[in-house]
Amino acid sequence: MSMKTLCQTPAKLILTGEHAVLFGAPALSMAIDLPTRCYMDFSPYTSSLESSCLEIELSDFNEKQSYPLSVWQQRVIEIETRFALYEKQSLSIQSVLQQPVDLILLTFQQFHNAYRLNPGHWTVKIQSHQLTEKGLGSSASVIISLLQSLYSHHELNYSDIELLSMAQRVESHQHGSSSGLDPTTVLKGGLLRYQQGSPLQKLTSHPFHGWIIDTGSPESTTGQAVNQVHRDFNHQHPIWTEFKNVAQLIEQAWQDSNATELKEAIKQNQQLLERIGVVPPTVQRFIHTLNQSSESAAKICGAGSVTGEKAGIVLCISQHAPEALCQEYGYDYYPLKFSEKGSRCEMVL
């Protein structure tokens, strides 16, 4: 019998810890109400897995194509070969996944390797919000929505740890290395304190007014930015202690609901991000203007960019939207909408 599911997964926004989380610092990250939707439809075959077919529609990229099992498996072999070359430093990270569909095929293959995909016709449609590839964790939302859909279709009991370790493995092919922060945030929802090697903590949400400001798609990918930071700053570099300290200030201010301290710490966090070279000059100027006022505090909230003038999404904590300045720079802005809910999957008729 055929079965249909819809999985809706929020986006993520990092309050503190982008880059630093990969060097052992704590991160505070929240799920936000910008859903990625994954529609999955399965019709079983009575014949063998070999005749299975995967039909993928990526609405945001205007792509729709069918992949017989042998074709997608060959394509994943090529992806894994490129990833192995990347790990030997013979290929750049942005050459590993060459097209958006590669991420989908790789996720299916990881699931298949672990659990063996049921034979049949699989149809997948993915639809995101308008702010993908701007630091809000779109690849993590795609991966989590796909994996959750696959677990549902196979009626498998799974632990979050199993699902997240698979997601982190897939995400490494996109980002070069992954702390697991993005997949964890979009799976669980809410506001999380995440630090590699420490237990995950859920923090209480507070009604701080925030805005997400779109400075445009970064010219470099997250993978490139992560790699450049790793090349320029080793694990022993003292700047990571400064990141840890500022994360502590932000966490304390958040827990105390202290807006003044929160804004001050966000400004310090932004200065550190500028020092690691991930904030382009135009975005630095924009943020400096906002940060001169005691009313507002802004920082980039994704990996930023190591080339060009755009840095993806900037978070601005302030009562009122920075309308005039956004207009001057030609940036769109939206109210920050927190999502207490994480990723969820339902059957559809």
Ligand X SMILES: N[C@@H](CCO)C(=O)O
| Strand locations in 223-331 (E) | 297-300, 313-317
- Label the pairing between strands 53-58 and 120-127: parallel
- Out of ligand X, ligand ATP, none, what residue 103 binds, judged by CB under 5 to 8 A for its kind, is ligand ATP
Nearer to ligand X, 226 or 247 (CB): 226
Cβ neighbours for 53, distance < 8 A, ≥ 6 positions apart? 66, 67, 68, 69, 121, 122
Q: How far is the CB of 306 from ligand X (least distance, A)?
A: 12
- Out of ligand ATP, ligand X, none, what residue 160 binds, judged by CB under 5 to 8 A for its kind, is none
Nearer to ligand X, 179 or 270 (CB): 179
Q: For ligand X, which stretch binds (CB under 6 A), given 60-68, 80-88, 105-113, 175-183?
A: 175-183
- Label the pairing between strands 210-214 and 3-16: unpaired
Counting other chains too, the contacts that 257-264 makes at CB distance below 8 Å and 24 or more residues apart are 257/206, 259/208, 259/317, 260/294, 262/208, 262/297, 262/317, 263/294, 263/296, 263/297, 263/317, 264/297
Q: Look up residue 160 and give its amino acid.
A: D
Q: How far is the CB of 15 from ligand X (least distance, A)?
A: 12
Nearer to ligand X, 41 or 171 (CB): 171
By CB under 6 A, is residue 181 in contact with ligand X?
yes
Q: How far is the CB of 77 from ligand X (least distance, A)?
A: 25
- Out of ligand X, ligand ATP, none, what residue 19 binds, judged by CB under 5 to 8 A for its kind, is ligand X
Residues of this chain, 219-238, that bind ligand X according to CB under 6 A = 222, 226
- Out of ligand ATP, ligand X, none, what residue 317 binds, judged by CB under 5 to 8 A for its kind, is none
By CB under 6 A, is residue 18 in contact with ligand X?
yes
- Out of ligand ATP, ligand X, none, what residue 226 binds, judged by CB under 5 to 8 A for its kind, is ligand X
Q: For ligand X, which stretch binds (CB under 6 A), given 14-22, 211-219, 268-276, 285-293?
A: 14-22
- Out of ligand X, ligand ATP, none, what residue 221 binds, judged by CB under 5 to 8 A for its kind, is ligand ATP
Rounded CA gap, 12 and 31, in Å? Answer: 4
- Out of ligand ATP, ligand X, none, what residue 133 binds, judged by CB under 5 to 8 A for its kind, is ligand ATP
Find how far residue 219's CA is from the centre of its chain: 17
Q: Look up residue 306 and give its amino acid.
A: V
Query: What residue has token string 């990141």?
Result: 243
- Label the pairing between strands 332-335 and 313-317: unpaired
**Which 3 state secondary structure label does DSSP give 148?**
helix
Q: For ligand X, which stretch binds (CB under 6 A), given 77-85, 179-187, 208-216, 339-347?
A: 179-187
> Where do contacts with ligand ATP occur on this chain (CB under 6 A)?
58, 60-61, 100, 103, 126, 128, 132-140, 142, 174, 182, 221-222, 302-303, 312
**Which 3 state secondary structure label does DSSP give 2?**
coil
Give the residue, chosen from 19, 82, 173, 263, that forms a contact with ligand X under the rule CB under 6 A.
19
Rounded CA gap, 231 and 89, in Å? Answer: 12
Which neighbouring-strand residues pair with 93? Answer: none
**For the chain, how many residues are written?**
349
Q: How far is the CB of 234 from ligand ATP (least distance, A)?
A: 22
Q: How far is the CB of 266 from ligand X (least distance, A)?
A: 16
Which neighbouring-strand residues pair with 3? Answer: 42
How many C-beta atoms lie closer than 10 Å to residue 323's C-beta? 10
Give the x-and-dash track for 122-161 against ligand X (CB under 6 A).
----------------------------------------
Tokens of residue 234, six digits = 């080793």
- Out of ligand X, ligand ATP, none, what residue 60 binds, judged by CB under 5 to 8 A for its kind, is ligand ATP
Half-sphere exposure of residue 85: CA atoms within 13 angstroms, side-chain side: 14
Rounded CA gap, 67 and 249, in Å? Answer: 50
Binding site for ligand X (CB under 6 A): 18-19, 21-22, 175, 178-179, 181-182, 222, 226, 303
